[in-house]
A and B are shown apart, each in its own frame.
Chain A
């Protein structure tokens, strides 16, 4: 008898619906899987056999043919265990088949029939919802992730026997209540706050501007000036994630297999910090079966590149395309995948090899040549894409105790207000933030008043600007004006923006 079971496979970071057809005919006992199945899928045979036998079920005797349609696409993933087992159970009439077509199945089987969690559940369930299938059976551990998709009944199953009983009407699997995103979970673990960073109000101001306008920022300073502390707190001043952003981030993490029982979905802005010895595939994504890289994992959040000058120059140059287009396309033999890469770049670097150039308390041991060589390691084209250059100096003891101290809450509110102004202004342009504006949009939306125009003209000559830095200054000045709630860019905004030039 022939049966058809709905499931899906991951393609890039999207999911494609797949139908598993199982036919059992008389003949020598054998099982053949056709339809470009990967080794993990072919190995499923042994797991299915063990799971069925240990779930009080018979492993069908006969010639079993499993076809996965569409046949032209390569299929991977242990989540295909369960749909294959269900197909075999249906074809051997061990489960009633009427309801099966209205369900989709995902899950990896253990030999004892237990269902194990799998990665990529969210995009796969979403693809089912789009295909009009309203019931999904997923491993119990994956329920919270699957429940993010509206309009689908999610059944969380512990083992194969439970599922068979459900369809044979012996007992029902409980439909998990659709969990709305739990704000406690989202706030938990945000112990970090900018009020922990003392005596760096000037730096905090620059970071607020960076977060408000999405401007890439490079912090240069000797060791223990607080570069890492400042960078780590960056997500705490970015606006809370919207539902769509949560879905998009969770999809990425789901496909990358980085979700767990503790973090079933991503509702805190990602903060990724790849090591400077990471490979190109690790940073931008890749591998035989392309996996999202750090820039994709940082999408919607912060990509922090510590020791920026230590990164391989070619590696950093690969960031040029994603910084412009906010996504990355990866081409492998036959397929091209486009992954999102909409991250805020925060880079930190020592000023020189020994780290103490310009430090008042330590002597720099580098020669002029070494300092120049160290600086030139950071490629020019990337420097051009970093709008804010911030120099940090060590904090004095007195500054650790007294003075004003901005907290993340205040800074975040300023960022939210400034972003609202940008959203209103850039509504129909396809840009979201000031940093994304191109030359013509900058000309159109950065309205300078007479005085600030004059200041910029003078600055162009006296401070040796070039057209590129001029463009960056205009964009940053626009963000500063937004933080100020001002529609026109005033002279004080331009003057401040000039201070963050290279």
Chain B
């Protein structure tokens, strides 16, 4: 059920009321209590790499595990990964729409939208039936950073919309983090540039929690869950975070048949992910 919160209503988030040009109302669907919880925004490029997806998902999961609500825009790429990470941890998440709450953009995220409505919250300043327009997304971004204590930029290309969010967040006085990427990767160019300009680089996920005054819970040592061959495959993948099956075979002297099997098991354990013939790290472990 969609209901409306006016700027003067007591349920309207305090932090959002204080920003420059706050929305005069927001429409909500889901658990409104989440607006009172500590929120962190994770945003980034639609055209992201596997690295970006892994990072966004891991951050979403780790923060949500520790009681932080993950805010994002449910766009393709990083946003989707962040929401999914939070849902995977059975944590809380808020999606801020750039259109009316009865619509779904992008339409392939219909399933995700339903899930967030059920287990989290979707909000928008636009009334039912309002379609997404080019100007609604930057406007939506001010709400994403407006309700959050911190904003994390995962992957942003040069001139990405996420850079606008970073700027708005800085103006609103939020903690801004940028996830560093390879300097050869085009997808990380914008986020690396933010770091050059003084934005805090995100090196350890738990730093975000400590900065918020939350003591992070203990992390499970996944190495203990793995068999010997699994461990050796995992350490090859971990070394460069992105390897081909051929490279794993060469580095471990296992047969292609054995490597395929082990990768499947690691995939099921949620530690690596295989995509387009390559194996990537799916869970960040230090």
Contacts and interface: CB of A to CB of B under 8 A. Distances in A.
Nearest to A204: B256
Contacts of B274: 499
Interface string A426-466: 00000000000000000000000000000100110011000
A368 interface: yes
A200 B47 CA distance: 29
Contacts of A480: 257
B186 interface: yes
A120 B250 CA distance: 52
Nearest to A391: B277
B261 A492 contact: yes
B250 A358 contact: no
Given A202-B249, A205-B256, A496 B277 contact: no
Interface in A446-502: 455, 458-459, 462-463, 480, 491-493, 495-496, 498-500
A310 interface: no
A462 B270 contact: yes
A499 B261 contact: yes
Contact of B246 (A399, A491, A493, A495): A399
B264 interface: yes
Contacts of B244: 202, 393
Contacts of A360: 242
B221 interface: no
B257 A205 contact: yes
B252 interface: no
Interface residues of A, number: 38
A351 interface: yes
A358 B256 contact: no
B74 to A, nearest CB: 14
Contacts of A205: 255-257, 260
A219 B265 CA distance: 23
B88 to A, nearest CB: 11
A455 B277 CA distance: 22
A201 B264 contact: no
Contact of B275 (A358, A367, A402): A358
A363 B186 contact: yes
A48 B244 CA distance: 68
Given A205-B260, A480-B257, A458 B186 contact: no
A459 B266 CA distance: 11
A224 B258 CA distance: 26
Given A202-B249, A399-B250, A480-B257, A495 B276 contact: no
A458 B256 CA distance: 23
Contact of A495 (B262, B277, B278): B262
Residue of B76, B108, B250, B255 ringed by the most chain A CB atoms within 10 A = B250
Contacts of B268: 455, 458-459, 462-463
Contacts of A363: 186
A202 B256 contact: yes
A390 B76 CA distance: 25
A411 to B, nearest CB: 12
A202 B260 contact: yes
A368 B261 contact: no
B245 interface: yes
Given A202-B245, A459-B268, A495 B261 contact: yes
Contacts of A493: 261
Contact of A202 (B76, B246, B270, B276): B246
Interface string A381-410: 000000000111101000100110000000
B26 interface: no
Contacts of A402: 250
A201 B46 contact: no
Contact of B264 (A357, A358, A367, A496): A496
Interface in B34-58: 46-47
A358 B246 contact: no
B73 to A, nearest CB: 15
B231 to A, nearest CB: 16
Q: Is the interface of B mostly helix, strand, loop or mixed?
A: helix
Given A358-B275, A495-B265, A201 B270 contact: no
A87 interface: no
A392 B263 CA distance: 16
A393 B248 CA distance: 13
A252 to B, nearest CB: 35
B47 to A, nearest CB: 7
Contacts of A458: 268
B117 interface: no
B211 to A, nearest CB: 33
Contacts of A199: 246
A459 B261 CA distance: 12
Given A368-B76, A463-B267, A499-B263, A201 B258 contact: no
A462 B244 CA distance: 22
Interface string B193-225: 000000000000000000000000000000000
B259 interface: yes
Given A458-B268, A495-B264, A499-B263, A357 B276 contact: yes
Contacts of B267: 462-463
A491 B230 CA distance: 14
Interface string B143-164: 0000000000000000000000
Contacts of A17: none
A82 B263 CA distance: 67
A221 interface: yes
A496 B265 CA distance: 9
Interface in B219-254: 242, 244-246, 249-250
A459 B255 CA distance: 22
Interface in A121-156: none
Contacts of B46: 368
A427 B75 CA distance: 54
A393 B261 contact: no
A480 B255 CA distance: 13
Interface in B72-90: 76
Contacts of B276: 220, 351, 357-358, 391, 393
Given A393-B246, A480-B257, 9 more contacts: A201-B256, A202-B249, A202-B260, A220-B276, A393-B244, A399-B250, A403-B246, A455-B268, A499-B263
A-B pairs, 7 with minimum CB distance: A358-B276, A391-B277, A495-B261, A499-B260, A202-B245, A205-B256, A393-B277
19 contacts: A200-B246, A202-B245, A202-B249, A205-B255, A358-B278, A367-B47, A368-B46, A391-B275, A393-B246, A403-B246, A459-B264, A459-B268, A462-B268, A491-B261, A495-B264, A496-B258, A496-B264, A498-B264, A499-B264
